[in-house]
Structure 1
Amino acid sequence: MRTAYDEIADWYEGQFLGAQQSDPLGISAALRELLGEGSGACLEVGCGTGVHAGVLRELGWTPVGVDLSAGMLRYGRERMPVARADAQRLPMRDSSVDAVVAVMVHTDMPAYPAVLHEVARVLRPGGVFVHVGVHPCFCGSFADRSDPAAAVIRAGYRERRWTKDSWTDQGIRDKVGAAHWPLPELLNALVDAGFGLERFSEGGEPLPIVLSVRARFSIDGGAAGSA
């Protein structure tokens, strides 16, 4: 089965990533702040080409990745051990990983709440999960960011739908489409999956582009304490 990302894997690795400055959205900074140093296996759900593996290793973790796109994994396997699998059916035992990260992928997953439940299944009790994603309030088909100094927010924020509508043809949304999750639905999905929310951060200038969350899973569905 081919995925939409198979069609753009070479462009993504060679042009999209190559054109970016050093951590323009603060993704690496968010991982350092919210995941922090640790040891053991850290699963990246929707790892794509594996570009975040280096940061995970710097923090002491052993990165492993899962993605559905064979095209993206051609690059990903050069950076860490990977498996091709659906994020709703992770090929891992219950309570088998120490940490999980999902980086800029929740808009690629129409069933993200189901993915979060699967993350909770494979994460050991007390394990940390870090979500780094497109900011629900400032990015989406309802947001025009063509002016670097301002974002124009139009009607549509409350609509949870899949679309390729985008203010730019230099990004990913116009090529493969994206889902939108209003902020309450995103945070409630984390809580419903049994995570206690601990810390938050935003990245991107001058208005946030990325929202990041650190959450912790406990077997009783509540917060399990801070790192």
Structure 2
Amino acid sequence: MTAAYDEIADWYEHEFLARSTPGDPIGIRRSLTTLLGPGAGRCLEIGCGTGAYAAPIRDLGWTPLGADLSAGMLRHAAGRLPVARADAARLPVRDASVDAAVTVMAHTDMPDYPAVLREAARVLRPGGVFVHIGVHPAFCGGFADRGDPAAVVIRPGYLDGHWTTESWTTEGVRSRVGASHWPLPELLQAFLDAGLTFERFGEGGAPVPTVLAIRARTVRT
């Protein structure tokens, strides 16, 4: 298997993360703290990339595990958490075997995110928590010009739902590897179709949100 991120893994680790993560400008760590929250047991990060969020997950008391398709990204992640190279839509994980699962800024990298949500529901124990933290579908994508953060311009294309490399900047990830897009109703419906029950929502970034965060749970038995 090859993955789009293999070619940019070193740039992502050494340049992109260093440039984009000082502090918590778009509220990713705040969303983890608020929606995942303190806990114990195994927390699977689906699409873990370089493992940049293993430490905050561990700080909350969870034992982080990671899965990602990109061998290049996993070279950097391996020192941060136990990892497996895997397709997010076909996880090498037993049914009902993890206590929590998260995707962090990864769902637009997955061509079939509804299938990933079904896998998350499968591997979670009954009553297990799933936290989605991703780019905001209403304000981020090939249809959104964020050149002026105070006045994001939404062009036609939001309703299309497609894969694109269009981006308002050439300095980020999307112009390099592309991104998938689901309009908000389709994204939320995919959670319900996977058997996940919504519990809480959040947004991050200002003055126009960059991040949409969702906490959901599998059915208790």
User: Shared topology, TM-score over 0.5?
Assistant: yes
Amino acid at match of 2:11: W
| TM-score, length basis structure 1 | 0.95
**What residue number does 1:224 align with?**
none
Unaligned segments of structure 2, at least 5 residues: none
Alignment of 1:37-186 (within 5 A): 37-186=38-187
Q: CA separation in 1, counterparts of 2:220 and 2:7?
A: 40
Q: CA separation in 2, counterparts of 1:54 and 1:193?
A: 28
Q: CA separation in 2, counterparts of 1:158 and 1:219?
A: 34
Q: CA separation in 2, counterparts of 1:161 and 1:147?
A: 24
Unaligned segments of structure 1, at least 5 residues: 221-227
Q: CA separation in 1, counterparts of 2:53 and 2:70?
A: 17
Q: How many pairs were matched up? A: 220
Q: CA separation in 1, counterparts of 2:84 and 2:111?
A: 21
Does 2:3 align with 1:7? no
Q: CA separation in 2, counterparts of 1:48 and 1:192?
A: 26
Q: CA separation in 2, counterparts of 1:84 and 1:110?
A: 17
Deviations, residues 137-167 of structure 1 (Å, cap 9, x unaligned)? 0001110000121100111110111000011
Q: Aligned-pair distance for 1:22?
A: 1.2
Q: CA separation in 1, counterparts of 2:190 and 2:136?
A: 15
Q: CA separation in 1, counterparts of 2:186 and 2:149?
A: 28
Moved over 4 A (4+): none
SS in 1 for 2:39: coil
Amino acid at match of 1:15: E
Q: Aligned-pair distance for 1:219?
A: 5.7
SS in 2 for 1:18: helix
Q: Aligned-pair distance for 1:23?
A: 1.6
Q: CA separation in 1, counterparts of 2:101 and 2:213?
A: 13
Q: CA separation in 2, counterparts of 1:24 and 1:73?
A: 25
Q: CA separation in 2, counterparts of 1:207 and 1:175?
A: 24
Percent identical? 66
Deviations, residues 48-73 of structure 1 (Å, cap 9, x unaligned)? 00000000111000000000000000
